[in-house]
Amino acid sequence: MQSLRSVLRESIEQLGLVEHLTVAFILVSLACAAVCGLIIYAVYRLFYRGAVYSENFALLIVMTTVITAFIVITIGSNLVLSLGMVGALSIVRFRSAVKDPLDVGFLFFGIAVGIASGAGLYPFALIATAAISLVYILFTLISKGRRTFVMVVKYRDEAAESVDKLMSESKGKLRGKAKYGDENELTFDIKFNKKSSQILDKFNAVEGVTSAVMVEYVGD
């Protein structure tokens, strides 16, 4: 008489809940995940739009892709291990804050590709990696000429009228105004174009303006 354990194992195998892994399958899955992760890494590094690039985060994307593929392979190979893996992963908590929402998108990108690679969907993983990367590069190149700058102008009271007039001409969006004694500070957004440097020169040429600077705004 078969034991309960044997009957359960046969039932699970008949349902396809357990896969017999081969070394070739594991190596190909991890290699596919590594290749896709390196593509994501290259896209992130070459077309990064933030203020401070982090090499550690770029490497984390590659590691996340490969580790996710490893987890999916483990879960798919054995039902008991999959339950234990889910329980172990449920207690993991991440305390590191991600400042740029775009970085979160790249992490999900790596996780999704890792899942596809671990499940053996190699063509889908490669095609999805290429397609999403091309879309991101396209939007990055399109928006490259439409950068937003924050202009900070410090001026005395006698230059207030001239500064307000120049801000209207530049079509800037007011962010804030501050006053320190007889000195004022004006902050507003301005879209980058060929006339931006000319506008900066006009502000610096106004009598009573102590300083005028432009800082690129990336949303951090």
User: pLDDT tens string for the chain (220 positions)?
Assistant: 456 556 545 554 544 444 556 788 888 999 999 999 999 999 998 888 765 677 888 898 999 899 888 888 877 766 555 555 555 555 555 566 666 778 888 888 998 999 898 888 889 999 999 999 999 999 888 766 566 677 777 888 777 777 777 777 777 777 777 777 778 787 777 776 655 567 777 777 777 777 777 776 555 4
Structure tokens at 179: 């006053």
pLDDT value, residue 161: 79
pLDDT value, residue 36: 93
Which strands, in side-by-side order, build the sheet including 183-191?
173-180, 183-191, 148-156, 209-217
Which residue reads 């770029």 in tokens?
Answer: 58
Rounded to whole angstroms, the Cα distance separating 133 from 42 reads: 10
pLDDT value, residue 158: 76
Residue 154 phi, psi dihedral angles, 5° rounding: -110, 130
Question: The dihedral of CA 78, 125, 139, 48: what is its sign?
Answer: positive
Phi-psi region of 168 (alpha: psi -120 to 50; beta: other; left: phi over 0): alpha
Question: Which CA distances in Å does 178 have to 81, 120, 168?
Answer: 61, 59, 18
Domain boundaries, the chain: 4-144, 147-217
pLDDT value, residue 188: 76
pLDDT value, residue 98: 64
Rounded to whole angstroms, the Cα distance separating 189 from 209 reads: 18
147-217: which CATH topology? Alpha-Beta Plaits (3.30.70)
pTM of the full structure? 0.62
